[in-house]
Chain A
Amino acid sequence: MSDVIFVGFPYVAVALAVLVGIYRYRSDTFSYSSFSSQLLENQKLFWGSALWHYAVVLILLAHFIAFLLPPLWGGIIGGPLRFPLEALGLILSLVGFVALGWLMMRRFSTRRIYVVTTRMDWVVVGLLLFQMLFGFVISLSYRWGGEWFVSSTAPWLWSLVTFNPKPEYVTAFPFLIQLHFFTGFLLIALFPFSRLVHLVAFPIGYLWRPYQRVIWNRAPRPGPGFRTS
């Protein structure tokens, strides 16, 4: 069973995310969009979207650093920054949870937003909401996540990356933590089938691209994602 949940499923999820994500980008670039609903409702979106995004982006960043550079993260979390960082993580997960709950309420209670919400939107927002809650409870009850992540979760993930899977790193974890892992990979699996693809469209290139863009017909210079065939 643990082989399915902690080995098979992560591989399937990541394969889906990458392969379907690329396929969707190439065959249906049009569908890559953040599907902003701000035109239809402005006021509630401000608190929801701004707080949600800052919280989730920072939390994800911490997860990625801890996964990609365990020694660095272990060094930081072992030092005097441990307490502030753990507290920040706790607060951010609460903020993210509340903000996303607010966004979900907005989708329920504002007619204009309700009618532009797809079934997949409900699924994704619902799962993210649970995921945030799990994260919050875990960081509150199983201290300190920043530490045990480095010695158990990171090795498990790396064992998957190196195709030498060692699920035993995480099989002894409490149910809630395992559920958090599972939902995480479920979200990765749903990524290419939902609006979540908007996060890989983050337009970092705006920092350096020239303001004006001119495209000539006679010397076509298709940019990335500009479908010419």
Chain B
Amino acid sequence: MDIRAQVSMVFHLDKCIGCHTCSIACKNIWTDRQGTEYMWWNNVETKPGTGYPTQWEDQEKYKGGWERDSRGRLKLKLQGRAGALTNIFYNPSLPTLDDYYEPWTYDYKNLFDAPEGDDQPTARAVSLVTGDFMDTLEAGPNWDDDMGGSEVYAANDPNILKSLSESEQQSLKNLEQTVFFYLPRICNHCLNPGCVAACPTGAIYKRGEDGIVLISQNRCRAWRMCVSGCPYKKTYFNWSTGKSEKCILCYPRLESGQPPACFHSCVGRIRYIGMVLYDADGIEQAARSPDDGLVDAQRALIKDPYDPEVIAGAKRNGIGDAVVTAAQNSPVYKFVKRWGLALPLHPEFRTMPMLFYVPPLLPVIAAIRDGQYETTAGMETAPADETGPNLNTVDKARIPMQYMASLFTAGNVDKIKHVYHKLVAVRMYMRSEQVGDQKEEDVQEALRRADLTPEQCISIFELTSLPTFEERFVVPPMERERAMDGELPPLDPYSRKAAGGFGFRDAPARRF
């Protein structure tokens, strides 16, 4: 057992209101420089939808992540080692700027300086790459926002195309059946990252102490293989500096005890962050599991932070008490392991992403009565078994379960249904407690089916609906000081100058 610590995350999709505050918080801090305008380390997409960059989930096109070959071995989908060196002059699977969008601003000055005339002056769009006027804007960072049901966007969602039959695809276009929810995405700080493996130079690495995945700006040589290697398209190429960049999980904030900016600013309070302890020896084995077993294999990697053997293993690897305590209080551990509610996004990419999602119930709980779409508004008058949470809710789901399974369980419908059964059971139980309109035997049946106890339902309800800031964000002291000074013989402090923080003494700009 090789116990390591990882900063891990949960996004509770039921709570996301699609406000994009997270994206803006991130952009204002990290990606407001030339060459990064088009990057959204945090982006919020509408699902079903094509996403950003467009159709990023289609790995036949982008070749991201890992594959299991016929003998059960793991291979990068992009290319082998020799392939990296022969494709280096031209990467056949690189998204181009047009797959994201061409960033622009507006010619605001014209609003003030335009000569007097018969027409209102306009502020034309100006490309932030070329500085030229842009006559048509064809794509933007969240161009498919709220476009569930769209022929252009939702209909071309790779999950829709992959998991649903013709008629199911058709029915999602009916107005009454249109459905969408938000999917905020950041780098998953994976256990088996495709970006790290694809980089020919080895410029990308995982930090041992907390698992944050970073690109060394000094070692990146612009071979741009990581952009393809990441199946989530969460490394981006800075066209101005000639370096790849990605989400750094706000490590300077984490190291001073604050949650990352997108977490801190989240309006829907959907985000949870906490440490988990995992067994690094098992990563490869887990990543090689057959599709069906991937979710369970990944869960099994995460170890019980109260288990004395695990604690001893953590000690052996120099993980401090504060981190172990944080792992014990981790909201992520509860959602992922204890309750089994949170799932990795696209586990079949086999990078072992450490950002987990609680799938959204909202588009599930609803019904059509007399051709009318009913949500909570109809609940007072409708019989509870038609619109309220009930034993049939999941089977009557408005969005096909195959679709959700394609997102979160590598196509395993039973597994995603089980999670939904839990979510419904919590609602039924809490409703029976607080409103009292649920049949007792139904509630018991729901709990049994979901493998939940009433106490667990209350805990889930509390951490979902009422958590405090400190319960959502359990960030231990990152112990940089111990990392440097705990070593014997002590390190020369000067050896750390410029290597901590960003370490740039020259502007990160192209000079030659």
A211 CB, min distance to chain B CBs, angstroms: 4
CB pair B202–A223 under 8 Å, yes or no, is: yes
The answer, yes or no, to whether B178 is at the interface (CB within 8 Å) is: no
Residue of B nearest to A212 (CB): B196
A39 to B237, CA, bound (A): 7
Write the chain A residue with the least CB distance to B236: A39
Asked if A168 is at the interface of the complex by the 8 Å CB criterion, the answer is: no
A201 at the interface (CB under 8 A from B): yes
> Using an 8 Å CB-CB cutoff, how does the interface string of A48-91 with B read, 1 for contact, 0 for none?
01101110000000000000000000000000000000000000
Majority SS at the chain B contact face = loop
- Distance A203 CA – B225 CA, assembled complex (angstroms): 12
The answer on a CB contact under 8 Å between A32 and B221 is yes
Q: In the complex where A112-B130, A216-B209 touch, is A36 in contact with B222 (Cβ < 8 A)?
A: yes
**A151 within 8 Å of B (CB atoms):** no
Would you call A193 an interface residue if the criterion is a C-beta within 8 Å of the partner chain's C-beta atoms?
Answer: yes
Chain A CB within 10 Å, residue with most, of B130, B227, B497: B130
Please, which residues of chain A bring their CB within 8 A of the CB of B82? 207
* B494 located at the interface, meaning its Cβ lies under 8 Å from any Cβ of chain A in the complex: yes
Inter-subunit contact A203/B85 (CB<8 Å):
yes
Binds B, one of A11-19, A114-122, A131-139, A173-181: A114-122
Is residue B72 within 8 Å, beta carbon to beta carbon, of the partner chain?
no
**Are B196 and A50 interface neighbours, CB within 8 A?**
no
Contact code string A188-201 (vs B, CB < 8 Å = 1, else 0): 00000111011001
Q: Are A45 and B495 in contact (CB under 8 A)?
A: no
The CA of A80 and the CA of B195, in the complex, are separated in Å by: 47
Nearest-Cβ distance from residue B96 to partner chain A, whole angstroms: 5
Give the contacting residue for B510; candidates A118, A202, A207, A225; CB below 8 A.
Answer: A118
B218 near A227: Cβ-Cβ < 8 Å: yes
Q: Within residues 201 to 240 of chain B, which ones have a CB less than 8 A from any CB in chain A? A: 201-202, 204-209, 216-224, 227, 237, 239-240
Per the bound structure, the CA–CA distance linking A54 and B85 in Å amounts to 12
Closest Cβ of chain B to A205, distance in Å, is 7
Query: Which one, A2-10, A23-31, A153-161, is touching chain B?
Result: A23-31
Interface assignment of B112: CB less than 8 Å from any CB of chain A? no
Stretch at the interface among B86-94, B138-146, B159-167, B304-312: B86-94
Interface size range of chain B in the complex = 35 or more
Instruction: Please tell me which one of the listed residues A37, A50, A198, A204 contacts residue B221 in the complex, with CB atoms under 8 A apart.
Output: A198
**Contact, CB under 8 Å: A50 / B209:** no
**For residue B227, which residues in chain A have a CB less than 8 angstroms away from its CB?**
39
Q: Tell me the smallest distance from the CB of A204 to a CB of chain B, in Å.
A: 7
Q: Which of A202, A205, A212, A214 lies in contact with B197, CB distance below 8 A?
A: A212
Interface of A is mostly: loop
Minimal Cβ-Cβ distance residue in B for A53: B89
Partner of A38, one of B224, B318, B497: B224
User: Contact at B219–A206, with CB atoms within 8 Å?
Assistant: no
A40 interface residue per 8 A CB criterion:
yes
By beta carbon, the residue of chain B nearest A57 is B89
* Residues B328-348 near A (CB distance < 8 A): none
Residue B480 lies at the interface, judged by CB distance under 8 Å to chain A: yes
Is the C-beta of B193 less than 8 angstroms from some C-beta in chain A? yes
B118 at the interface (CB under 8 A from A): no
Residue of A nearest to B486 (CB): A218
Per-residue A-contact encoding for B482-512, CB less than 8 Å = 1, 0 else: 1110110001001111110001101010111
With A30-B217, A34-B242 given, can you name 13 additional A-B contacts, CB distance below 8 Å?
A30-B218, A34-B221, A38-B96, A42-B96, A45-B90, A197-B512, A206-B84, A212-B197, A213-B202, A218-B318, A226-B499, A227-B498, A229-B499
A residues adjacent to B (C-beta < 8 A): 28-42, 45-46, 49-50, 52-54, 111-112, 114-116, 118, 120, 193-195, 197-198, 201-207, 209, 211-220, 222-223, 225-229
A-B contact pairs, 30 of them (CB 8 A): A30-B504, A33-B220, A33-B510, A35-B242, A39-B239, A40-B97, A40-B239, A42-B96, A45-B90, A111-B130, A112-B97, A115-B131, A118-B510, A203-B202, A203-B221, A203-B223, A204-B85, A206-B81, A206-B200, A212-B196, A216-B207, A216-B209, A218-B208, A218-B486, A220-B499, A226-B499, A227-B498, A228-B496, A228-B498, A228-B499
